[in-house]
Amino acid sequence: MTDKTRALMARGAEFLGSDYAILCGAMSWVSERNLVAAISNAGGFGVIACGAMTPALLDAEIAATKALAHRPFGVNLITMHPQLFELIAVCAKHAVGHVVLAGGIPPKGSVEAIKAFGGKVLVFAPTLALAKKLLRSGADALVIEGSEAGGHIGPVATSVLAQEFLPALAEEHIVFVAGGIGRGEMIASYLEMGAAGVQLGTRFACAAESIAHPAFKQAFFRANARDAVASVQVDPRLPVIPVRALKNKGTEEFTAKQREVAQLLDAGTIEMGEAQLQIEHFWAGALRRAVIDGDVENGSLMAGQSVGMVTREEPAAAIIAELVTECEAALSR
Ligand SMILES: Cc1cc2nc3c(=O)[nH]c(=O)nc-3n(C[C@H](O)[C@H](O)[C@H](O)COP(=O)(O)O)c2cc1C
Protein backbone atom coordinates (compact mmCIF):
# COMPACT_ATOMS: atom_id res chain seq x y z
CA MET A 1 0.00 0.00 0.00
CA THR A 2 1.11 3.55 -0.64
CA ASP A 3 1.77 5.68 2.43
CA LYS A 4 -1.23 7.90 1.78
CA THR A 5 -3.65 4.98 1.46
CA ARG A 6 -2.21 3.31 4.54
CA ALA A 7 -2.50 6.55 6.51
CA LEU A 8 -6.11 7.15 5.49
CA MET A 9 -7.09 3.55 6.22
CA ALA A 10 -5.08 3.31 9.46
CA ARG A 11 -7.85 4.08 11.95
CA GLY A 12 -10.37 1.77 10.33
CA ALA A 13 -7.88 -1.07 9.81
CA GLU A 14 -6.70 -0.81 13.39
CA PHE A 15 -10.27 -0.85 14.66
CA LEU A 16 -11.08 -3.95 12.59
CA GLY A 17 -7.74 -5.71 12.98
CA SER A 18 -7.52 -6.04 9.19
CA ASP A 19 -4.99 -4.83 6.60
CA TYR A 20 -7.50 -2.71 4.71
CA ALA A 21 -10.40 -0.67 6.07
CA ILE A 22 -12.75 -2.51 3.73
CA LEU A 23 -15.67 -4.47 5.15
CA CYS A 24 -17.70 -6.94 3.20
CA GLY A 25 -21.15 -6.12 4.56
CA ALA A 26 -23.12 -9.12 5.79
CA MET A 27 -25.40 -10.55 3.12
CA SER A 28 -27.96 -13.11 4.28
CA TRP A 29 -27.27 -16.56 2.80
CA VAL A 30 -24.21 -15.23 0.94
CA SER A 31 -22.01 -14.17 3.86
CA GLU A 32 -21.32 -17.56 5.35
CA ARG A 33 -18.06 -19.28 6.32
CA ASN A 34 -16.51 -19.43 2.82
CA LEU A 35 -16.93 -15.82 1.70
CA VAL A 36 -16.31 -14.42 5.19
CA ALA A 37 -13.03 -16.33 5.60
CA ALA A 38 -11.92 -15.44 2.05
CA ILE A 39 -12.49 -11.71 2.64
CA SER A 40 -10.70 -11.69 5.99
CA ASN A 41 -7.83 -13.84 4.80
CA ALA A 42 -7.35 -11.41 1.90
CA GLY A 43 -6.86 -8.52 4.33
CA GLY A 44 -10.41 -7.17 4.31
CA PHE A 45 -13.00 -7.72 7.03
CA GLY A 46 -15.66 -10.39 6.54
CA VAL A 47 -18.92 -10.41 8.48
CA ILE A 48 -21.16 -13.45 8.97
CA ALA A 49 -24.83 -12.70 8.22
CA CYS A 50 -26.81 -14.30 11.03
CA GLY A 51 -30.14 -13.35 9.44
CA ALA A 52 -32.82 -15.66 10.80
CA MET A 53 -30.37 -18.36 12.01
CA THR A 54 -31.04 -20.00 15.36
CA PRO A 55 -28.38 -19.68 18.08
CA ALA A 56 -27.27 -23.28 17.37
CA LEU A 57 -26.79 -22.54 13.65
CA LEU A 58 -24.86 -19.35 14.39
CA ASP A 59 -22.71 -21.31 16.85
CA ALA A 60 -21.82 -23.82 14.13
CA GLU A 61 -21.23 -21.09 11.50
CA ILE A 62 -18.83 -19.15 13.73
CA ALA A 63 -16.92 -22.34 14.60
CA ALA A 64 -16.65 -23.29 10.91
CA THR A 65 -15.53 -19.77 9.93
CA LYS A 66 -12.88 -19.82 12.65
CA ALA A 67 -11.54 -23.03 11.17
CA LEU A 68 -11.10 -21.35 7.76
CA ALA A 69 -10.13 -17.79 8.73
CA HIS A 70 -6.76 -16.84 10.14
CA ARG A 71 -7.72 -13.17 10.44
CA PRO A 72 -10.47 -11.44 12.45
CA PHE A 73 -14.07 -11.42 11.23
CA GLY A 74 -17.37 -10.12 12.62
CA VAL A 75 -20.97 -11.20 13.06
CA ASN A 76 -24.04 -9.25 11.90
CA LEU A 77 -27.16 -9.64 14.03
CA ILE A 78 -30.62 -8.36 13.12
CA THR A 79 -31.98 -6.38 16.06
CA MET A 80 -35.54 -7.71 15.75
CA HIS A 81 -34.44 -11.36 15.91
CA PRO A 82 -36.55 -12.84 18.74
CA GLN A 83 -33.46 -14.53 20.24
CA LEU A 84 -31.09 -11.56 19.91
CA PHE A 85 -29.67 -11.98 23.42
CA GLU A 86 -29.05 -15.72 22.94
CA LEU A 87 -27.24 -14.87 19.69
CA ILE A 88 -25.10 -12.34 21.57
CA ALA A 89 -24.30 -15.10 24.08
CA VAL A 90 -23.11 -17.30 21.21
CA CYS A 91 -20.83 -14.44 20.04
CA ALA A 92 -19.55 -14.16 23.62
CA LYS A 93 -18.81 -17.89 23.76
CA HIS A 94 -16.62 -17.53 20.67
CA ALA A 95 -15.15 -14.18 21.79
CA VAL A 96 -16.22 -12.59 18.48
CA GLY A 97 -14.31 -9.32 18.20
CA HIS A 98 -16.93 -7.26 16.34
CA VAL A 99 -20.72 -7.43 16.28
CA VAL A 100 -22.73 -5.38 13.79
CA LEU A 101 -26.28 -4.61 14.94
CA ALA A 102 -28.48 -4.11 11.90
CA GLY A 103 -32.11 -3.67 10.97
CA GLY A 104 -33.18 -1.14 13.56
CA ILE A 105 -32.33 0.67 16.76
CA PRO A 106 -30.44 -1.70 19.11
CA PRO A 107 -32.78 -2.78 21.92
CA LYS A 108 -32.00 -1.85 25.50
CA GLY A 109 -29.08 -3.80 26.93
CA SER A 110 -27.84 -5.23 23.61
CA VAL A 111 -24.87 -2.87 23.15
CA GLU A 112 -23.94 -3.38 26.81
CA ALA A 113 -24.17 -7.18 26.48
CA ILE A 114 -21.70 -7.15 23.58
CA LYS A 115 -19.29 -4.79 25.30
CA ALA A 116 -19.47 -6.92 28.45
CA PHE A 117 -17.62 -9.75 26.72
CA GLY A 118 -15.15 -7.38 25.06
CA GLY A 119 -16.80 -7.20 21.63
CA LYS A 120 -16.80 -4.00 19.63
CA VAL A 121 -20.20 -2.79 18.46
CA LEU A 122 -20.98 -1.34 15.03
CA VAL A 123 -24.38 0.22 14.47
CA PHE A 124 -26.34 1.75 11.60
CA ALA A 125 -27.99 5.13 12.05
CA PRO A 126 -30.41 6.76 9.61
CA THR A 127 -30.08 10.25 11.11
CA LEU A 128 -27.27 12.29 12.61
CA ALA A 129 -29.17 12.78 15.86
CA LEU A 130 -29.62 9.05 16.32
CA ALA A 131 -26.00 8.41 15.39
CA LYS A 132 -24.82 10.78 18.10
CA LYS A 133 -27.13 9.14 20.63
CA LEU A 134 -25.90 5.61 19.79
CA LEU A 135 -22.24 6.68 19.95
CA ARG A 136 -22.87 8.38 23.31
CA SER A 137 -24.50 5.25 24.65
CA GLY A 138 -21.54 3.03 23.85
CA ALA A 139 -21.50 2.04 20.16
CA ASP A 140 -17.88 1.87 18.98
CA ALA A 141 -18.42 2.59 15.31
CA LEU A 142 -21.03 3.67 12.83
CA VAL A 143 -21.99 2.50 9.36
CA ILE A 144 -23.86 4.98 7.18
CA GLU A 145 -25.58 3.29 4.26
CA GLY A 146 -27.17 5.09 1.36
CA SER A 147 -30.08 4.11 -0.83
CA GLU A 148 -27.81 2.88 -3.65
CA ALA A 149 -27.11 -0.23 -1.57
CA GLY A 150 -28.50 -3.69 -2.09
CA GLY A 151 -30.97 -5.16 0.39
CA HIS A 152 -33.05 -3.11 2.86
CA ILE A 153 -32.45 0.58 2.28
CA GLY A 154 -33.22 4.04 3.58
CA PRO A 155 -34.36 6.96 1.44
CA VAL A 156 -31.15 9.05 1.29
CA ALA A 157 -28.22 8.66 -1.12
CA THR A 158 -24.75 7.79 0.18
CA SER A 159 -23.29 11.02 -1.21
CA VAL A 160 -25.71 13.08 0.89
CA LEU A 161 -25.31 10.97 4.04
CA ALA A 162 -21.53 11.30 3.72
CA GLN A 163 -21.81 15.10 3.65
CA GLU A 164 -24.16 15.13 6.64
CA PHE A 165 -22.36 12.64 8.86
CA LEU A 166 -18.64 12.76 8.08
CA PRO A 167 -17.89 16.43 8.81
CA ALA A 168 -19.87 16.14 12.05
CA LEU A 169 -18.57 12.82 13.35
CA ALA A 170 -15.55 11.46 11.52
CA GLU A 171 -12.85 13.29 13.44
CA GLU A 172 -13.86 11.81 16.77
CA HIS A 173 -15.57 8.60 15.70
CA ILE A 174 -15.05 5.59 13.48
CA VAL A 175 -17.48 5.90 10.55
CA PHE A 176 -17.71 3.44 7.65
CA VAL A 177 -19.50 4.43 4.45
CA ALA A 178 -21.64 1.90 2.53
CA GLY A 179 -23.88 1.91 -0.51
CA GLY A 180 -23.03 2.18 -4.18
CA ILE A 181 -19.29 1.66 -3.88
CA GLY A 182 -17.98 -0.35 -6.83
CA ARG A 183 -14.48 1.00 -7.40
CA GLY A 184 -11.48 2.20 -5.43
CA GLU A 185 -11.77 5.82 -6.62
CA MET A 186 -14.99 6.07 -4.60
CA ILE A 187 -13.26 4.56 -1.57
CA ALA A 188 -10.52 7.18 -1.91
CA SER A 189 -13.01 10.02 -1.92
CA TYR A 190 -14.87 8.85 1.20
CA LEU A 191 -11.53 8.33 2.98
CA GLU A 192 -10.55 11.88 2.05
CA MET A 193 -13.82 13.12 3.52
CA GLY A 194 -12.83 11.51 6.82
CA ALA A 195 -14.40 8.05 6.68
CA ALA A 196 -12.42 5.44 8.61
CA GLY A 197 -13.28 2.92 5.91
CA VAL A 198 -15.96 1.54 3.65
CA GLN A 199 -18.40 -1.35 3.43
CA LEU A 200 -19.30 -3.10 0.18
CA GLY A 201 -21.78 -5.87 -0.43
CA THR A 202 -22.84 -6.13 -4.08
CA ARG A 203 -19.24 -6.05 -5.36
CA PHE A 204 -18.37 -9.12 -3.27
CA ALA A 205 -21.59 -11.15 -3.68
CA CYS A 206 -20.29 -13.02 -6.74
CA ALA A 207 -16.73 -13.61 -5.59
CA ALA A 208 -15.39 -17.03 -6.51
CA GLU A 209 -15.68 -18.10 -2.87
CA SER A 210 -19.33 -16.98 -2.61
CA ILE A 211 -21.66 -19.98 -2.44
CA ALA A 212 -24.36 -18.07 -4.35
CA HIS A 213 -25.93 -20.21 -7.09
CA PRO A 214 -24.36 -19.83 -10.59
CA ALA A 215 -27.72 -18.51 -11.89
CA PHE A 216 -27.70 -15.81 -9.17
CA LYS A 217 -24.17 -14.80 -10.20
CA GLN A 218 -25.11 -14.77 -13.92
CA ALA A 219 -28.01 -12.43 -13.16
CA PHE A 220 -25.55 -10.05 -11.46
CA PHE A 221 -23.07 -10.20 -14.35
CA ARG A 222 -25.83 -9.36 -16.84
CA ALA A 223 -27.43 -6.55 -14.84
CA ASN A 224 -26.93 -2.81 -15.19
CA ALA A 225 -27.25 -0.21 -12.45
CA ARG A 226 -30.81 0.62 -13.55
CA ASP A 227 -31.93 -2.99 -13.07
CA ALA A 228 -31.38 -2.76 -9.29
CA VAL A 229 -34.63 -1.12 -8.27
CA ALA A 230 -36.17 -0.30 -4.88
CA SER A 231 -39.46 -2.01 -4.08
CA VAL A 232 -42.41 0.37 -4.26
CA GLN A 233 -45.33 0.68 -1.86
CA VAL A 234 -48.58 0.74 -3.81
CA ASP A 235 -51.10 1.48 -1.06
CA PRO A 236 -50.60 3.77 1.97
CA ARG A 237 -52.39 1.24 4.19
CA LEU A 238 -49.99 -1.55 3.36
CA PRO A 239 -46.46 -0.69 4.51
CA VAL A 240 -43.55 -1.95 2.43
CA ILE A 241 -39.97 -1.65 3.71
CA PRO A 242 -37.95 -0.74 0.61
CA VAL A 243 -35.56 -3.40 -0.63
CA ARG A 244 -33.23 -2.87 -3.58
CA ALA A 245 -33.08 -5.92 -5.83
CA LEU A 246 -32.81 -6.81 -9.51
CA LYS A 247 -36.20 -6.58 -11.17
CA ASN A 248 -37.66 -9.93 -12.17
CA LYS A 249 -40.98 -11.76 -12.25
CA GLY A 250 -41.08 -11.71 -8.43
CA THR A 251 -40.81 -7.92 -8.20
CA GLU A 252 -43.63 -7.53 -10.75
CA GLU A 253 -45.82 -10.03 -8.93
CA PHE A 254 -45.20 -8.17 -5.68
CA THR A 255 -46.74 -5.05 -7.18
CA ALA A 256 -49.70 -7.08 -8.44
CA LYS A 257 -50.07 -8.74 -5.02
CA GLN A 258 -50.23 -5.35 -3.31
CA ARG A 259 -53.01 -4.20 -5.69
CA GLU A 260 -54.91 -7.44 -5.16
CA VAL A 261 -54.71 -7.19 -1.36
CA ALA A 262 -55.71 -3.50 -1.48
CA GLN A 263 -58.79 -4.44 -3.51
CA LEU A 264 -59.72 -7.13 -0.98
CA LEU A 265 -59.41 -4.48 1.75
CA ASP A 266 -61.66 -2.07 -0.20
CA ALA A 267 -64.22 -4.81 -0.65
CA GLY A 268 -64.06 -5.61 3.05
CA THR A 269 -63.18 -9.23 2.27
CA ILE A 270 -60.15 -9.27 4.60
CA GLU A 271 -59.08 -7.52 7.80
CA MET A 272 -56.20 -5.02 7.91
CA GLY A 273 -54.03 -7.34 10.00
CA GLU A 274 -54.40 -10.21 7.55
CA ALA A 275 -53.78 -7.85 4.61
CA GLN A 276 -50.54 -6.54 6.08
CA LEU A 277 -49.43 -10.07 6.93
CA GLN A 278 -49.95 -11.18 3.34
CA ILE A 279 -47.74 -8.32 2.11
CA GLU A 280 -45.09 -9.03 4.73
CA HIS A 281 -45.03 -12.73 3.93
CA PHE A 282 -44.77 -12.32 0.16
CA TRP A 283 -40.97 -12.29 0.20
CA ALA A 284 -40.51 -14.86 3.00
CA GLY A 285 -37.70 -17.19 1.97
CA ALA A 286 -37.25 -15.31 -1.32
CA LEU A 287 -33.57 -14.42 -0.88
CA ARG A 288 -32.80 -18.05 -0.09
CA ARG A 289 -34.68 -19.14 -3.21
CA ALA A 290 -32.48 -16.91 -5.37
CA VAL A 291 -29.11 -17.33 -3.63
CA ILE A 292 -29.25 -21.03 -2.79
CA ASP A 293 -31.78 -22.55 -5.20
CA GLY A 294 -30.92 -20.27 -8.13
CA ASP A 295 -34.56 -19.31 -8.76
CA VAL A 296 -33.79 -15.96 -10.36
CA GLU A 297 -37.36 -15.51 -11.65
CA ASN A 298 -39.31 -15.68 -8.40
CA GLY A 299 -36.61 -15.27 -5.76
CA SER A 300 -35.25 -11.97 -4.44
CA LEU A 301 -32.06 -10.88 -6.23
CA MET A 302 -31.02 -8.27 -3.69
CA ALA A 303 -28.41 -6.08 -5.34
CA GLY A 304 -27.16 -2.52 -5.18
CA GLN A 305 -26.74 -0.09 -8.06
CA SER A 306 -23.05 -0.97 -8.25
CA VAL A 307 -24.15 -4.30 -9.75
CA GLY A 308 -23.30 -2.86 -13.19
CA MET A 309 -19.64 -2.96 -12.13
CA VAL A 310 -19.84 -6.66 -11.28
CA THR A 311 -19.00 -8.38 -14.55
CA ARG A 312 -17.21 -11.63 -13.75
CA GLU A 313 -16.35 -14.11 -11.05
CA GLU A 314 -13.07 -13.31 -9.31
CA PRO A 315 -11.48 -14.44 -6.05
CA ALA A 316 -12.20 -12.10 -3.11
CA ALA A 317 -8.47 -11.36 -2.88
CA ALA A 318 -8.43 -10.15 -6.51
CA ILE A 319 -11.43 -7.87 -5.93
CA ILE A 320 -9.81 -6.36 -2.85
CA ALA A 321 -6.47 -5.93 -4.63
CA GLU A 322 -8.21 -4.17 -7.52
CA LEU A 323 -10.12 -1.85 -5.19
CA VAL A 324 -6.93 -0.97 -3.31
CA THR A 325 -4.98 -0.32 -6.53
CA GLU A 326 -7.73 2.00 -7.81
CA CYS A 327 -7.85 3.76 -4.44
CA GLU A 328 -4.09 4.25 -4.42
CA ALA A 329 -4.08 5.61 -7.96
CA ALA A 330 -6.80 8.10 -7.09
CA LEU A 331 -5.04 9.23 -3.92
CA SER A 332 -1.71 9.73 -5.67
CA ARG A 333 -3.20 12.04 -8.30
C1 LIG B 1 -27.83 -9.99 -1.27
C2 LIG B 1 -27.68 -9.00 -0.14
C3 LIG B 1 -28.07 -9.38 1.14
C4 LIG B 1 -27.90 -8.51 2.23
N5 LIG B 1 -28.24 -8.91 3.49
C6 LIG B 1 -27.97 -8.11 4.56
C7 LIG B 1 -28.19 -8.56 5.89
O8 LIG B 1 -28.61 -9.69 6.12
N9 LIG B 1 -27.89 -7.71 6.92
C10 LIG B 1 -27.40 -6.46 6.69
O11 LIG B 1 -27.14 -5.73 7.65
N12 LIG B 1 -27.19 -5.99 5.44
C13 LIG B 1 -27.45 -6.80 4.37
N14 LIG B 1 -27.15 -6.35 3.10
C15 LIG B 1 -26.47 -5.04 2.92
C16 LIG B 1 -24.92 -5.23 2.88
O17 LIG B 1 -24.42 -5.67 4.11
C18 LIG B 1 -24.17 -3.93 2.53
O19 LIG B 1 -24.34 -2.96 3.53
C20 LIG B 1 -24.61 -3.33 1.21
O21 LIG B 1 -24.64 -4.34 0.23
C22 LIG B 1 -23.65 -2.22 0.81
O23 LIG B 1 -24.07 -1.59 -0.36
P24 LIG B 1 -23.69 -2.08 -1.85
O25 LIG B 1 -24.55 -3.25 -2.10
O26 LIG B 1 -24.01 -0.91 -2.67
O27 LIG B 1 -22.22 -2.43 -1.83
C28 LIG B 1 -27.35 -7.21 2.00
C29 LIG B 1 -26.99 -6.84 0.69
C30 LIG B 1 -27.13 -7.71 -0.37
C31 LIG B 1 -26.69 -7.28 -1.75
Atom of ligand 1 nearest to the CA of 50: 8
The pTM for the full model equals 0.97
Measure 199 CA to ligand 1 centroid, in angstroms.
9
Alpha-carbon distance 51 to 169, whole Å? 29
- Give CA separation, 99 vs 37, 118, 122, in Å: 16, 10, 6
CA of 306 relative to ligand 1 center, distance in Å: 12
- The full set of domains in the chain, from first to last, is 3-211+311-332 (3.20.20.70), 214-305 (no CATH)
* Residue 205, ligand 1, Cβ within 6 A: yes
Task: Please say whether the beta carbons of 9 and 191 come within 8 A.
Answer: yes
Task: Compute the C-alpha angle 66/203/254, nearest 5°.
Answer: 105
Q: How many residues does the chain have?
A: 333
Closest alpha carbon to 22 in 30, 32, 14, 12: 12
Question: Does residue 51 have its Cβ closer than 6 Å to ligand 1?
Answer: yes
| pLDDT confidence of residue 284 | 87
Angle between helices 33-41 and 55-68 (to 10 degrees): 40
**Looking at residue 31, what is its pLDDT?**
98
Question: CB–CB of 216/291 below 8 Å?
Answer: yes
Looking at residue 7, its pLDDT comes to: 98
148 CB under 6 A from ligand 1? yes
Centre of ligand 1 from the C-alpha of residue 269, in Å: 37
Low-confidence ranges of the chain (pLDDT < 70): none
What is the whole-number distance in angstroms between the Cα of residue 201 and the centre of ligand 1?
A: 5
